A and B are shown apart, each in its own frame.
Chain A
Amino acid sequence: MHDPSAAIRILGTLLVAGIAALDATPVAQTLLSQPLVTATVLGAIWGDWHTALEVGLVLQILSAATLPLGARTPEDYAVGGVIGISVALIAATRHPFAMVRESSALLGAIAGLLASVGGVGLLKWQRRRNEGLSRWCEAALRDGQLGALAAAHRAAIVLSFAVGVTYCAVWLAVAAPLAVKLASAESLRLARAFSLAQPLWLGLGVAQLLHAFVQRRLARAALFGVALVAAWLVLMVGSP
């Protein structure tokens, strides 16, 4: 990466990873960290909306059904999404041919899924580390230090941002060069694999979402069916 604009893009990507890590749990939870939103920002940074959308859509549909209920630590699709989308974008930018783009999208989606699963361990580590922070905070308050609460929050937020940025940087350093090589050397096979995997992934995600909405109620399943048929008819009849 000797190109200065590439370095700026990498820095932008790492910043997006840090912001996504913050939005996912520690700050606000406004869904800025959702793969579709980060894909939009990364698509603008790398100047390739098409690849960003292909990977972002798959990861978005799969992440929407991942629920952070109770004390469960869900897969980290926030930083995982940024990693997957940027790996695909880096690989596709190097060889901007249609088939290489498809193979980059497959490698990016796999990197995103693996990074999401790998991120669970890091989230658990941060949460265990926060246990010590909370004990310190209570002791400091009992000691009369009123600034302890703000200090504890600052520490946890800085840690979360740093972990997000570092995790993304490590993945990009390891996976991006590999993806660049693989996407160009095995573009035909990988593009073919993507054409099989993409609809399977989307179908898997759609079923998860449907399960969440329907909740085993027949009337809601019927509503989904009616909407599907009606929309399909409108699309087919309405198009020239």
Chain B
Amino acid sequence: MARLNSWVLFRMALRASLLQATWNYERQQGVGWAYSLEPALERLLPDPRQRAERLAEHTAYFNTQPTMASVALGVVAGLEERRAAGEGPDAAAMGRVKSVLGSSLAALGDRLFWMTLRPLAACVGALLAPAGMVRGALALWLCYNAVHLTLRFRGVGWGYRHGPEVLGERLRGAVGWLTLLISLGGCVVLGILTATLLAPGGVPRSLVFQVMLLTGIGVGFVVALRPRPSPTEWALGIAALCIAAAWMRGA
């Protein structure tokens, strides 16, 4: 029975970087998923006809948080290994496993990456950028990718080794703790960033700036509670208002 080695798992992780390249409303990450799984099927199914059929099966609908997809890829590669040996689930059962993996990992990943880690990285970058833009940009990139790239490249191996049980309490607990830590860190960094905006380098900004910043924060809380208009649309409205105010005051 053919087994997957670490080189194959690494190639899958590399291809997972292109998971969203063909994202569409019908199958979402389906085609990217099949492309990422191809190195495993190349090893497990030497017959090109059978491999093409199996890949076509995997182009069906799939969606999850893109970094966490690595874990799902590892699990499904393990199941495909068993399937190639005549033991694993059939196509319908594989579809159900993918669906459960996708939704569970999305629930964990969206909270970790989109709602906490990306905002934290932005805050760290914004905090350090005034002292040196390269430093700020590098801090933003490293802060995010320390977690993102680790999970992308190690996630396939974790999923492969643990199988569907990877979704157990251990992973949920670890991701939950990490999300909590990042949220708390985010509160602290954002507090420091706000103080730096009010008094950069210990020199307080003008009263107008301070009042406007606090007004912006107040408006932002109201905006955050409503889905529409979006913050970007609010920002455009603010721009129009400020230009009108500057014009009314005259040159």
Contacts and interface: CB of A to CB of B under 8 A. Distances in A.
Contact of A26 (B21, B110, B119, B129): B21
Interface in A45-88: 49, 52-53, 56-57, 60-71, 75
A199 B235 CA distance: 11
B183 A215 contact: yes
A141 B56 contact: yes
A171 interface: no
B89 interface: no
Interface stretch (A4-12, A162-170, A172-180, A218-226): A218-226
Contact of B220 (A192, A205, A223): A205
Given A31-B118, A193-B245, A223 B187 contact: yes
B93 to A, nearest CB: 20
A188 B250 CA distance: 9
A93 B100 CA distance: 54
A239 B201 CA distance: 7
Contact of A207 (B23, B201, B218, B232): B218
Contact of B213 (A203, A215, A236): A203
A65 B123 CA distance: 11
Contact of B141 (A32, A52, A128, A200): A32
A135 B186 CA distance: 42
A13 interface: no
Nearest to A110: B239
Given A67-B114, A197-B238, A235 B224 contact: no
Contacts of A197: 238-239, 242-243
A155 to B, nearest CB: 8
Interface stretch (B3-11, B27-35, B80-88, B165-173): B27-35
Nearest to A231: B195
Interface string A87-128: 000000000000000000010011001101100000000011
A15 interface: no
Given A131-B24, A149-B31, A204 B220 contact: yes
Contacts of A127: 23-25
Interface residues of B, number: 105
Nearest to A188: B251
A134 B214 contact: no
Interface in B206-251: 208-210, 212-221, 223-224, 230-236, 238-239, 242-243, 245-247, 249, 251
Given A31-B144, A134-B30, A215-B183, A239 B202 contact: yes
B122 interface: yes
A189 B247 CA distance: 6
Contact of A65 (B196, B201, B231): B231
A207 B145 CA distance: 25
A120 to B, nearest CB: 10
A57 to B, nearest CB: 6
B121 A31 contact: yes
Contacts of B183: 213-215, 220
How big is chain A's contact interface, by range?
Answer: 35 or more
B236 to A, nearest CB: 5
B2 interface: no
B22 A153 contact: yes
Contact of A208 (B53, B116, B220): B220
Contact of A203 (B55, B122, B215): B215
A16 interface: no
A149 B55 contact: yes
A63 B122 CA distance: 9
Given A207-B218, A209-B190, A223-B184, A192 B20 contact: no
A134 B246 contact: no
B236 A26 contact: no
A121 B77 CA distance: 36
Interface of A: 25-32, 34, 36-37, 39-40, 43, 49, 52-53, 56-57, 60-71, 75, 106, 109-110, 113-114, 116-117, 127-131, 133-135, 137-138, 141-146, 149-150, 152-153, 156-157, 160, 188-190, 192-215, 220-221, 223-232, 235-236, 238-240
Q: Considering the complex of A and B, which 8 residue pairs feature the smallest CB-CB distances, nearest first?
A: A203-B216, A207-B220, A239-B202, A227-B191, A64-B122, A231-B195, A199-B212, A130-B24
Given A142-B56, A200-B219, 11 more contacts: A34-B121, A36-B122, A40-B136, A49-B133, A146-B48, A152-B31, A153-B31, A206-B190, A210-B217, A232-B199, A235-B199
